[in-house]
Amino acid sequence: MLGSVINTVIGAGIKVGANLLNFWLEQKKQTQLALVARDSEMLKALIENQNRRADDNFVKTTRRVLFMSITFTMCFLMIYYAMNPHITYDVLMPKGEGSKMGLWAWVSGSNDWVQVKLTGGLMLTSFMDLCFMVVGFYAIPSKK
């Protein structure tokens, strides 16, 4: 008889434990669903805000002004340096083993540096890829 009582108590304990575990899992699921719904609403609001900003005339105008000013500055410098090839700049470059790190040599430090003279045109060609990247960013509208 005592065995039947103990088995009933163990069964009831397992049932209570399973109910508590299910309750905890359900609460966790509800919390995750609430977070997903919140994130979904925030994403919709963000997309709607970006769509409104993309149609804003001020944003369109400033993008075009930046595009035109960068393009005209680059064109002016190309013509200016072509007409004045004698302009030179002194630039510090890493020398030796530290030179293989490129830009990171400025951060990590190099033991040896050398001073190099660059013409204006050569300096401009060093930044041509960056300029085209910025011009492309401002010139091409985003539909997303």
Q: Tell me: the pLDDT tens digits for 11-35?
A: 777 777 877 888 888 888 888 877 7
Judge if 74 and 47 occupy the same domain: no
Statement to judge: residues 70 and 116 lie in one domain: yes
Residuewise pLDDT in 10s, the chain (144 residues): 666 667 677 777 777 787 788 888 888 888 887 777 777 888 888 777 777 766 677 877 887 888 888 888 888 888 988 898 888 888 877 776 655 666 666 666 666 778 888 888 888 887 787 778 877 777 676 665
> Do 28 and 71 share a structural domain?
no
Tell which of 21, 39, 55 closes a domain: 55
117 neighbors 93 (Cβ within 8 angstroms): no
Residue 116 belongs to domain spanning: 60-139
The mean pLDDT value of the chain amounts to: 77
Domain boundary among 55, 71, 101: 55
Of 33, 55, 77, which residue sits at a domain end?
A: 55
